[in-house]
Amino acid sequence: MRGMDWVFDAGRPCLHLVNTLRSRHLPAGVELLTSTDALAEWLDLAGFGRETVTGSDLKKGKSLREAVNRLLTAEPLADDVRLVNDTLKAAPKPPRLRLENGTLHREVPTPANPVATALAELAADAVDLATGSAKVRICAADDCGLRFVDTSPRRTRQWCSMARCGNRAKARAHYERTKNR
């Protein structure tokens, strides 16, 4: 299925998930998570491994994506907080220590559902971002709307990517300045 226009330059994994719905300025946006295979591909490219995704996983992923978007860029709703907290319940369990015949062993629990674990890690990243000092911005390009963490020195970054939207905006401005010469 390779070939989706995945973008991983938002600065945080939870925002990479949010950016799987593009062109939010359009009434329905442009959905990239169109199937279970699309979510499986995204999870793999995002570093969570190639997992088998069910229809329920896809629905939960999209719901988490929209809740995270509202938490970070709009007015958070109590339902969004509840959904993120419920998603966190599938977080990976920490390793445990076991003593057997005088030797210490590390036990790492196997997750019951690797997709739910991946979504829990994305939810945890959203909690860190929402409660931290980082600034989440929306790309200033009229036809974009991708979300990103502004890590610029003065926190004045305008575009999701200089190579994509920033370059187009600067080219348009240059054209406007020079077209009547």
Separation CA 147–CA 65 (nearest Å): 12
pTM of the model as a whole: 0.83
Hey, what are 151's tokens?
Answer: 């890590």
Q: In terms of Cα–Cα distance, which of 88, 85, 87, 1 is closest to 39?
A: 1
Average pLDDT over the chain, rounded to an integer: 88
Greatest Cα-to-Cα distance within the chain, rounded to the nearest angstrom:
86
| Top-confidence range, 36-45, 92-101, 140-149 | 36-45
Confidence band (pLDDT; 50, 70, 90) for 11?
very high
Give the chain's domains with CATH numbers.
13-178 (1.10.3300.10)
